[in-house]
Structure 1
Amino acid sequence: MSGSPISAAFGLAQFIPSIARWLAGEKAEEVAQNVLNIAKRITGIEDSPDIIRLLLEQPELVVEFQRAILNLEAEMELAVMQDKQDARLRDMALIKAGRNNTRADIMVISAAGGLISCLVTLAYYSEFLPGEAVGIISTVAGIFGSCLKDAYAFEFGSSRESKMKDTTMAALFERDF
């Protein structure tokens, strides 16, 4: 297989764009390799440009590839949900034992403090800072905001849309293609 697994998997994302969202983070290489293994199995070809060429020529193989990737995505979504559930169970066990999750409290307070610091800096000093610094501080503020959003989603559950996605993914996983 020519090139890195991640770049080859990005090439395959033209057939199912949702692949791209899984190709970042600590498991990107593993996911990319899984995508490539699926493509190899379906096409019987080892080289990524040849795989893409064959998929472009044979739509029936694209459908089979898409189904296999949907199954892989369902498995990954279920693993993420299971991981969150395990963490929630850990928190509940700590509470039942009369202990606090100090680490989580520090993380949330730090994210809130970081967000407030960025916003105060932007509010009072943005006119004195170069545009690049304002852009970087705004990006960092967005990261802190995202951390807080994730903490709230973990603590209070998912939104309605996310619950619908969870239900859909569970149904997809249970259904045989």
Structure 2
Amino acid sequence: MVAPLLIAGAMALAKEFLPGMVKHIAGDKAGEVAQSVVDVAQSVTGTSSPDDALVAMQADPSLVIDYKKHMASVQAELDKAYLVDRQNARDRDVKLKQAGYHNYRADIMLTLAFVCVVALVYFLWEARLDMPDQVFAALNMALGMLLKMIGDAFQFEFGSSRGSKEKDMIGRQ
């Protein structure tokens, strides 16, 4: 199956039945993850396409239960790999600091993101009446993206929540 069609089918299945898998389908291993999401759905439902599997599961809740059971281990492996990757990045940061290095790159990136947020807010405020709605929407999306980057930086440095700490503990086991 063509990769974009496969990913679209997997995304539809994940949105409906496995919301936790959406981030993995949109990640670096999108093709592999999408293939497993679709393969398991087709196997459980006995269908030959992601769309048919989606329709079959929408019609029969017992198929959804079977699907979630089969996908639980796949999702757990992907979550564990994600946590290990994030932990490796944190460990790298700690080792650099222990070796006496300062991570200027991270400081510069965060500062630039913050400066861009301030500039975009100012620009949007000053030019809000003179720009087409489509331009305003695009700049507003860029602002949201920059705010997400700043939020991710804070989560990386300080952790995000109690749930995140629990996931970190699971990842270390």
List alignment gaps of at least 5 residues for structure 1: none
Write the distance in 2 (CA, Å) between the matches of 1:65 and 1:158.
30
Write the distance in 1 (CA, Å) between the matches of 2:131 and 2:16.
44
Alignment deviations for residues 113-150 of structure 1 (CA, whole Å, 9 cap, x no partner): 11111011123232333333222222111111110000
Residues 1:46 and 1:132: Cα distance change in structure 2 (over 3 Å): closer
8 Å CA contact 1:40, 1:51 repeated in 2:
yes
Aligned partner of 1:149 in structure 2 is 151
Under a length normalisation based on structure 2, what TM-score does the superposition of the two structures give? 0.79
Of the candidates 107, 112, 115, which is equivalent to residue 113 of structure 1?
115
Write the distance in 1 (CA, Å) between the matches of 2:125 and 2:165.
36
Aligned-pair CA distance for 1:5: 1.5
Aligned partner of 2:26 in structure 1 is 24
Amino acid at match of 1:8: G
Give 1:38-49 correspondences, 5 Å limit. Answer: 38-43=40-45, 45-49=47-51
User: In the alignment, is residue 6 of structure 1 matched against residue 1 of structure 2?
Assistant: no
8 Å CA contact 1:6, 1:23 repeated in 2:
yes
Give 1:60-139 correspondences, 5 Å limit. Answer: 60-139=62-141
8 Å CA contact 2:15, 2:22 repeated in 1:
no
Write the distance in 1 (CA, Å) between the matches of 2:140 and 2:59.
45
8 Å CA contact 1:9, 1:35 repeated in 2:
yes
8 Å CA contact 1:5, 1:33 repeated in 2:
yes
Aligned partner of 2:38 in structure 1 is 36
Alignment deviations for residues 99-125 of structure 1 (CA, whole Å, 9 cap, x no partner): 111221221112111111101112323
CA RMSD of aligned residues (A): 3.0
Question: What is the number of equivalent residue pairs in this alignment?
Answer: 170
Q: Which runs of 4+ in 1 moved over 6 A?
A: none
Write the distance in 2 (CA, Å) between the matches of 1:86 and 1:108.
20
Name the % identity.
32
List alignment gaps of at least 5 residues for structure 2: none
Write the distance in 2 (CA, Å) between the matches of 1:37 and 1:11.
14
> Which sits farther off after the overlay, 102-111 or 123-132?
123-132
SS in structure 1 of the partner of residue 128 of structure 2:
helix
Aligned-pair CA distance for 1:49: 4.5
Which structure is higher in RCO with an 8 Å CA cutoff and minimum separation 6?
A: 1
